[in-house]
Amino acid sequence: MKLKIDELEDLARGAAFLGTGGGGNPYLGRLMLERVMKEGFEVEIIGVDEVPDDALVIPTAGMGAPTVTVEKLLVPEEYLLALQRLEDFLGRKAFATMPIEAGGTNSIVPLIVGAMRGIPVVDADGMGRAFPELQMVTFSVYGIKAAPMSLADVHGNSVILEAEDNATAEWLARGNCIRMGGHASVGIYPMSGAEVKKCSIPRTLTIAREIGRTIREARAARTDVVEALCQYLRNNDTYGDARVIFEGKIADLRRETTRGFAIGQARIEGSGAFSGDLEVTFQNEHLIARAGGRVVAMVPDLICILDLETSEPITTESLRYGQRVTVLGVGAPPIMRTPEALGVFGPKCFGLDDTYVPFDSCPTP
């Protein structure tokens, strides 16, 4: 299908929701894509079944701390450069690009690259949400190599990186990213169409657009936006249980930009039907939520913070003291919950001591 410019706001909003606090700012992502489309470039989105098995697919994304992009505005040409550098190294042109994760910017980046390069974008990604590190994707679970990969910055600098494994690729790329100003564009996980079919989470761009539309339409109809959103997610074949886990005001916020990430914790004072506090720990994305010392949601399941009045998703770099928020939990896709997947992006991969408990088995405060 051809993406229409009047669909961008829904897509960016829904992608920010799935990004669980990370994946980039939806407003900035939408502005970049609007600029490209107004210049006459078209965005073509195709399903995984439309990709030939022997085709080369190169996902594209931005990496770094989301707090950096608030001050260092993004440039579409930077992302295109990352794709072109990896194509040059491989000696082969990409048939298509795709997201590696969902997020307000990282769902949008491949659409920009695809439009400017004249190639389609696959309606799928490697997380169905966002994670802070490059190896934390379903591609890794199925043995796809992150490298060779490319990094590029706004000044035209670029790096081709090769590594023995995906965790090493992340470590090396993070160092380069920091030296590129805390943000870089990447071309990564070059794979065949057959591999895309095997290891990706399909329809995530479509789902993001439908989430954004659900929020917009419920708001316009003055119905319960959160209930409409939860009902959509419960009826979706990709995600699991969805429900409100807390509501209240951000009473304390600790956030620092370090090691190439936005790392911190937010404490939310309960209101309405919720009492006590909820503590949410994040590393670009929300990792774990505890109420009264009990875990109520954890990675890889989704923890999404929304503005209480508008139901707009709030990214970690946009969290502020005094904001009134609703916190939703959403069950991750089944492919994200296997023992093999938990070994790549389960709680212990983030230094958390907690054993993973699926969201539908977690208590509600």
The DSSP code for 318 is G
- Please give the chain's pLDDT, 365 residues, in tens: 899 999 999 999 999 999 999 888 888 889 999 999 999 999 999 999 999 999 999 999 999 887 787 777 778 899 999 999 999 999 999 999 999 999 989 999 999 999 999 999 999 999 999 999 999 999 999 999 999 999 999 999 999 999 999 999 999 999 999 999 999 999 999 999 999 999 999 999 999 999 999 999 999 999 999 999 999 999 999 999 999 999 999 999 999 988 888 899 999 999 989 999 999 999 999 999 999 889 999 999 999 999 999 999 999 999 999 999 999 999 999 999 999 999 999 999 999 999 999 999 998 87
| Domains of the chain and any CATH numbers | 5-202 (3.40.1610.10), 230-361 (2.40.390.10)
H-assigned helices in the chain: 8-18, 26-38, 66-69, 76-90, 109-117, 138-141, 166-179, 193-199, 204-220, 225-234, 339-345
Measured CA angle at 130 (ends 301, 229), to 5 deg = 60
Q: What does the alpha-carbon distance between residue 161 and residue 174 come to, in Å, rounded to a whole number?
A: 11
- Three-class DSSP category at 99: coil
Packing angle of the helix pair 109-117, 76-90 (nearest 10 deg):
70
Res 257: pLDDT: 86
Phi, psi of 7 (to 5 degrees): -95, -5
Note every long-range contact of 160-166, with CB atoms under 8 Å and residues 24 or more positions apart, other chains counting: 160/85, 160/86, 160/89, 165/135, 166/134, 166/135, 166/140
Packing angle of the helix pair 76-90, 26-38 (nearest 10 deg):
80
| Cβ-based neighbour number of residue 63 at 10 Å | 24
Q: What does the alpha-carbon distance between residue 242 and residue 173 come to, in Å, rounded to a whole number?
A: 34
- The answer to whether 99 and 204 have CB atoms below 8 angstroms apart is yes
The predicted model scores a pTM of 0.95
Q: What does the alpha-carbon distance between residue 267 and residue 283 come to, in Å, rounded to a whole number?
A: 15
- Three-class DSSP category at 88: helix
What's at 232, amino acid-wise? Answer: Y
Res 97: pLDDT: 98
